[in-house]
Amino acid sequence: MAPRHPVAAAEPGLAPVSTVPGVGPALVKTLARLGLERVQDLWFHLPLRYEDKTRVTAMADLRAGERAQVEGVVEAVERGFRYRPQLKVAIDDGSGHTLLLRFFHFNRAQAEQLVPGTRLLCYGEIRHGAHGLEMVHPQYRRLDGNDAVAVDEVLSPIYPTTEGLGQKRLAGVIGKALALLPPASQLELIPPALCAEHGLTSLREALLYVHRPPPDAPLAQLVLGRHPAQQRLAFEELLTQHLSLRRMREAVRMRHAPPLVVDPTLQRRFLATLAFKLTRAQQRVSAEVAQDLAQTKPMLRLVQGDVGSGKTVVAALAALAAVSSGHQVALMAPTELLAEQHLHNFRQWLRPLGIEVEWLAGKVTGKARRQVLERVAQGAPVLVGTHALMQEGVNFHRLGLVIVDEQHRFGVQQRLALRDKGMTGANDPEAVAIDGAEQVPHQLVLTATPIPRTLAMSAYADLDVSSIDELPPGRTPVQTIAISNARRFDVIERVQAACAEGRQVYWVCTLIEESEQLRAQAAEVAHAELSAAIGETRVGLIHGRMKPAEKQRVMDAFKAGQLAVLVATTVIEVGVDVPNASVMVIENSERLGLAQLHQLRGRVGRGAVASNCVLLYQPPLGQLARERLQVMRDSNDGFRIAEKDLELRGPGEVLGTRQTGQLSFRIADLARDAHLLPAVQQVGQNMLADHPQQASQLIERWIGGAARYAHA
């Protein structure tokens, strides 16, 4: 099908930013740092938020947490030097209310200008200070005499920007770029019939609106991102992400993979050595996986299942299929402790079948590392490890299957990197054989955070999904309570009592956003307290700064029941499995995400004994924290908790990808805009099938610039 638009004439968006009037070489460079290289990159560089300087708020009406514009006369000024230079300026709007402006960075001229009697117009965030409301580093300007205040006529957009490029200048450039927007029909990439079917309004109008909301724009709606113009853009952004993941999937599925079929005798022997029977859900999911593996197209499957649903066995069965067919398996986990746990399980299960399991982590170095790499290059059947498996120098002989555990902690980027790694079939003489196409391994992704369906559709559109929706029999639900840290002593007494009954206890110390060193210190404090109460020889300590061998020793002692209490940092978050442990205490629980709390809690409730979870919190609790702890007390259902987490915190947090930012949309918000996803899927399907050219153009428009930026 011919492209709808002849490129040169009707695609002014593809021209370089230098074609925008007033954009010279220096600005081109600065814009490039923001990933803005073409005119359309400027069109789609959307405001993060808006500032409302269209009115002046009376001081009596100011609320902490809001941004406001205020007018007032300087009443008093104080310069302090106690800890660091500080300038405090009290202003008064004549109503008897005052507001404190606080500056930590200021120059002489500024200080000299801000003298009593000066009239100021300020804009900033209102906060609670020690002596009432204040603004830290407000924007401000002096007003002359008794002139009436000239307020802005429209909301000011605030754009993501970079050093050396002020908001005014950037807004100016974007404004000039917007003047180059083609007529609506030429800008639209979603076919008109689909737009009509799904009630999508004009993209051109939407863009103009969000960049320059009119004076009467409903600010409250805009702030929440619920204005139809924003929703129109959110739709297109979600659609683009969906298309891009589907495209990646198609690209992988075009390749060949080795068909992997399990040897029935081997499988029977494996199942016979297990101490349990597979649940129906495990059987169903294993069958789905086996079916995929037998194909010559690469499997791309996500297995999701609540904590303790038994995903490891499903992975092991898949590994057996690969080994049976003479191919290698790589199993990767996000933390060393979890990887070690897999190593332990896999060795225990596979050694009796005569299958060796290799181990590779960052800490395997020198000769040991060279030997492992050597054996892997020669075809060692199973390699377990951390993300060290992705590093250079790890070359497989015939990699047939890649298993990634706790996927959500890796993120899309790493998932794709690993996939690329698997593509190097160079060491395998047979790899290139089928139809001359490159062979790639099958991919199995495991996640214990049940991903809300809406999110899965969007973030994992490149994967098929299987669910282990049943727990092994004999589990008892965990009783959860929240207790203030002020009653820490009572909790220690309860732990003491539980130990006296022969129960085992996890005590988890969490301090997020601090260093590993501080985390270790916090754990050492708790360790000392509990040792004093229960006896030094009965309390173990495990944290991220310990050597793997040392951690393993403590873990083994806890498993064997020699230790009654295990004090740990969140390194035990995922995967650790000690069925006799039935009490879990989590410190600073108010600071953790629900998904993480659920993971932690999932470490208990694995045996037949009723289990307890104590969520210790630092008072006072905010409203949101209170709500979150309540969810934990009310529910043991990972799916419900994940839905709630999504609602309360947003998808980046839920997927653990906030730092890598690859799910950070410009305008869409999965929690808010989930209702758009069914239509996004339909339109996506249709465009991939019937309008592939426009699909590519959409990806270029929304992701192109950012992708070029990421690779720079």
Please pick, from the candidates 72, 575, 651, 705, the single residue that binds Mg ion as defined by CB under 5 A: 575
Q: Should residue 385 be labelled a site residue for ligand ADP when binding is judged by CB under 6 A?
A: no
| Least CB distance to ligand ADP at residue 578 (A) | 9
Of 326 and 352, nearer to ligand ADP (C-beta) is 352
Asked if 403 contacts 345 with a C-beta cutoff of 8 angstroms, the reply is: no
Provide Rg for the chain, Cα atoms: 30
Contact region with Mg ion (CB under 5 A), list: 283-291, 386-394, 575-583, 585-593:
575-583
Q: Residues 110, 193, 276, 525: which binds ligand ADP (CB under 6 A)?
A: 276
Q: Residue 334: is the preceding peptide bond cis (ω within 30°)? A: no
**Nearer CB in complex with ligand ADP: 23/604:** 604
Among ligand ADP, Mg ion, none, the one that 626 touches (CB under a kind-dependent 5 to 8 A) is none
Whole-number Å distance between alpha carbons of 322 and 342: 17
Stretch that binds Mg ion, among 267-275, 391-399, 411-419, 571-579 (CB under 5 A): 571-579
Nearer to Mg ion by C-beta: 91 or 303?
Answer: 303
Q: Give the residue, chosen from 30, 230, 282, 324, that forms a contact with ligand ADP under the rule CB under 6 A.
A: 282
Task: Write down the least CB distance from residue 598 to Mg ion, Å.
Answer: 13
448: contact with ligand ADP by CB under 6 A: yes
CB of 245 to Mg ion, least distance (A): 25
- C-alpha dihedral (387, 391, 396, 402), degrees to nearest 10: 30
Shortest distance (Å) from residue 304 CB to ligand ADP: 9
Q: Give the integer Cα–Cα distance in Å for 110 and 268.
A: 81
Residue 364 or residue 632: which is nearer to ligand ADP going by CB?
632
Which two tokens mark 258? 């080795």
Q: Other C-beta atoms within 10 Å of 326: how many?
A: 13
Given 40, 231, 241, 279, the residue binding ligand ADP (CB under 6 A): 279
Spell out, one character per residue from 472 to 501, where the chain touches ligand ADP: x when CB under 6 A holds, - when not: x-----------------------------
* Separation between Cα atoms, residue 324 and residue 263, nearest integer Å: 6
- Give 653-668 as a DSSP string: HHHT-TTT-TT--SS-
DSSP code for 449: S
Q: Which residues of 571-589 are buried (b: 16+ CB within 10 A; e: fewer)?
A: bbbbbbebbebbbbbbbbb
User: What's the farthest any 2 CA atoms get from each other in the chain?
Assistant: 94
Q: Footprint of ligand ADP on residues 304-323 (CB under 6 A)?
A: 305, 307-313
Q: Which is nearer to Mg ion, 232 or 551 (CB)?
A: 551
Which residue number, 311 or 408, has a Cβ lying nearer to ligand ADP? 311
Q: What is the DSSP string of 469-527?
A: --PPTT--PEEEEEEEGGGHHHHHHHHHHHHHTT-EEEEE---TTS-HHHHHHHHHHHH
Partner interacting with residue 334 (select from Mg ion, ligand ADP, none; CB below 5-8 Å by kind): none
User: Which amino acid would we find at residue 484?
Assistant: S
Kindly tell me which of 448 and 498 has the beta carbon lying closer to ligand ADP: 448
Between residue 138 and residue 197, which ones bind ligand ADP under the rule CB under 6 A?
A: none
Number of Cβ atoms within 10 Å of the Cβ of 154: 15
According to CB under 6 A, which residues from 559 to 578 bind ligand ADP? 577
Binder of residue 386, out of Mg ion, ligand ADP, none (CB less than 5 to 8 A by kind):
none
* Binding-site string for ligand ADP from residue 594 to residue 633, where x marks contact by CB under 6 A and - marks none: ------------x---------------------------
Q: Which does 309 bind (CB under 5 to 8 A by kind): ligand ADP, Mg ion, none?
A: ligand ADP
Query: Is 289 or 667 the residue whose CB approaches Mg ion more closely?
Result: 289
> By CB under 6 A, how many residues form the interface with ligand ADP?
18
Read off φ and ψ for residue 316, nearest 5 degrees: -65, -40
Output the CA torsion 660→661→662→664 (10° steps).
170
Q: Which is nearer to ligand ADP, 298 or 638 (CB)?
A: 638
Among the listed ranges 323-331, 482-490, 501-509, 569-577, the one in contact with Mg ion (CB under 5 A) is 569-577
Report how far residue 711's alpha carbon sits from residue 501's, in angstroms, rounded to the nearest whole number.
58
For the bound state, the minimum distance from the C-beta of residue 221 to Mg ion, rounded and expressed in Å, comes to 43
Among 285, 308, 242, CA closest to 670: 242
Q: Which is nearer to ligand ADP, 579 or 650 (CB)?
A: 579
Q: How many angstroms separate the CA atoms of 663 and 458, rounded?
A: 10
Q: Which is nearer to Mg ion, 308 or 652 (CB)?
A: 308
Q: What is the DSSP letter of 59?
A: G
> Does the protein bind ligand ADP through residue 348 (CB under 6 A)?
no
Tell me the DSSP string of 594-644: HHHHHHHHTTSS-SSS-EEEEEEEPSSPPHHHHHHHHHHHH---HHHHHHH
Determine the size of the site formed for Mg ion (CB under 5 A).
Answer: 1
- Rounded to whole angstroms, the Cα distance separating 70 from 94 reads 12
Apex CA 455: angle with CA 450 and CA 456, to 5°? 65
**Which CB, 444 or 564, lies closer to Mg ion?**
444
Determine which residue in the list 278, 416, 483, 679 makes contact with ligand ADP, applying CB under 6 A: 278
d(CA 227, CA 206): 10
Residue closer to ligand ADP (CB basis): 198 or 475: 475
Binding residues for ligand ADP (CB under 6 A): 276-279, 282, 305, 307-313, 448, 472, 577, 579, 606
Residues that bind Mg ion (CB under 5 A): 575
